[in-house]
Structure 1
Amino acid sequence: MTERKVILYLSESLDGFIAERDGSTNFLSKLSSSAADAAYQDFYQSIDTVLMGRKTYQRTLQKAGTYPYQDKESYVFSTTLHDTDDPTTVVAGNIPSFVRKLKAKEGQDIWLVGGADIFTDLLKENLIDTLIITIAPVLLGDGIGLVASNLTDVPLRLTNATQHDQFVTLTYAVQK
C-alpha cells in the first residue's frame, strides 16, 4: 500500500497572497479560465479527503452558501468550533498526529484546502508532500501570505509547470 499524499492546492496572486487582508478571495472571482477550472476538476477527482482550518471553513461556507465538499471526507481543525451542520468532522487535538494517521489509512490523496498556520505546522513536520500553486494574473499589494511564520529552508523540486490561459500552475514536491 502506498501512503497517501497531503497536497496543498490553492491559488494566489502574482505577488504571493492567498487571500486579501480581510481573508476573502474575491480577487479570484473577478478572473476566469475554463482551462484552470478543468485542471481543478481533474485534481478534485484525485482526492477523497479535505482538510482545513476553522477560518477557511467559515469563509468557504459564507462564499458558497452550503458546504461544497459534501462528497469528500472532511475535517476542520479548530479548538473553538465544536459541531457543524454538514458532514464535516471537527478535530481539536494534535493536528500532525491526526494527519499521520490519516495518511496511513487507505484511500486517495488528501487536499489541504487552507489554513496558513496548519500548512506551516504540517510543513515543519514533513507531512506536506506536494504544493500545487496556481498563480492568478493579479497583483494585490497586500494580503495574507502562504506561510504563517518564518520557516528555515524548505527545499522544493519543481515537477510541473502548466499554463491555463492567463494562469500558471506550478507543482512542487517537498524534498524530505
Structure 2
Amino acid sequence: MRKVVLFIAASLDGFIARENGEIDWLIESEGGEGDNGYKEFYDGISTVIMGNSTYKHVLILSEQFPYADKEVYVFTAEPDKINPPELQYYSGSASKLIDELRTKDQPGDIWLVGGANLAETFLREKLVDELILTYIPVVIGRGIPLFNENTPETSLHLKSVKTYNQFVTLHYEFLNK
C-alpha cells in the first residue's frame, strides 16, 4: 500500500517558516555536501499533495515548477480558476483523496508538502503513515509552528535517525492509525 509521508524541515525551536511565511533561514542553512537525503526520498514518491499557500510560495521561489515530474494535487477549499497542466486542484475530503490515490495502480508514496494546516487535516483523519522531520540548526524565535495547537494527540515510533552535515533527520511511523 502506498504510504502518506509528511517530509518536512523545522528550526530547532519547532518552526517551519517565519510568521510571514518566509523560509529564508532554511535556504540559507542548506549547504555542505549532498542533498541531505532529499533525492532518495523524492525518487520514492509519485504523488505530491500540497496546500494552496505552499503552492503559491513554491511558484515565487522557483522559476520552474519543481514537481512537474510527479502527480500533483493542491489541496484547497477554494480552487483557483486557472488550473495549470502540472497539477490538479482538490477541494474534497482528505480521506476520499487518499482512498482514490491508494487504489491507483501506481508505485511510489504520497508526499504531503505544506504547513501545519495541511498536516493537521491529514493527521486528524489518521491518514499520515510516516513523518520524516529534519531539524535545521537555527533558532528563529517566532514563526509558523510545525504543528497547530489543534493537531490531535498522536503517538509515533522512531524508525531511524540520520545526520547529514549539521542536520538531524528523524524518521517516525504513526501508531494511532
After TM superposition, the score normalised by the length of structure 2 is 0.92
Q: Which residue of 2 aligns with 1:9?
A: 7
Q: Which residue of 2 aligns with 1:100?
A: 99
Q: How many residues align?
A: 174
SS for the counterpart of 1:118 is helix
CA distance in 1 between partners of 2:174 and 2:82 (Å): 33
Quick one: which of 31, 34, 57 aligns to 1:33? Answer: 31
Contact 2:7–2:133, Cα closer than 8 Å, also in 1: yes
Q: Which residue of 1 aligns with 2:142?
A: 142
Identify which range, 140-149 or 66-75, moves more after superposition: 140-149
Q: Map of 1:102-141 to 2, 5 A cutoff?
A: 102-107=101-106, 108-141=108-141
Q: 1:116 offset after TM fit, Å?
A: 1.7
CA RMSD of aligned residues (A): 1.5
Structure 2 residue 40 is the aligned partner of structure 1 residue 50: no
Structure 2 residue 165 is the aligned partner of structure 1 residue 165: yes
* Percent identical residues: 39
Quick one: which of 20, 26, 42 aligns to 1:22? Answer: 20
Q: Which residue of 2 aligns with 1:64?
A: 62
Q: 1:55 to 1:152 in 2, by over 3 A?
A: closer
Q: 1:35 to 1:84 in 2, by over 3 A?
A: farther
Contact 1:96–1:121, Cα closer than 8 Å, also in 2: no
Q: 1:118 offset after TM fit, Å?
A: 1.9
Residues 102-154 of structure 1: CA distance to partner in whole angstroms, max 9, x if unpaired? 12323210100113212111111110000000000100100001223323420
Code of the residue aligned with 1:16 in structure 2: it is G
CA distance in 2 between partners of 1:123 and 1:100 (Å): 15
Residues 71-119 of structure 1: CA distance to partner in whole angstroms, max 9, x if unpaired? 0000001233233334110112222211222123232101001132121
Q: 1:35 offset after TM fit, Å?
A: 4.8
SS for the counterpart of 2:19 is coil
After TM superposition, the score normalised by the length of structure 1 is 0.92
SS for the counterpart of 1:37 is coil
The runs of at least 4 consecutive aligned structure 1 residues that moved more than 4 Å come to none
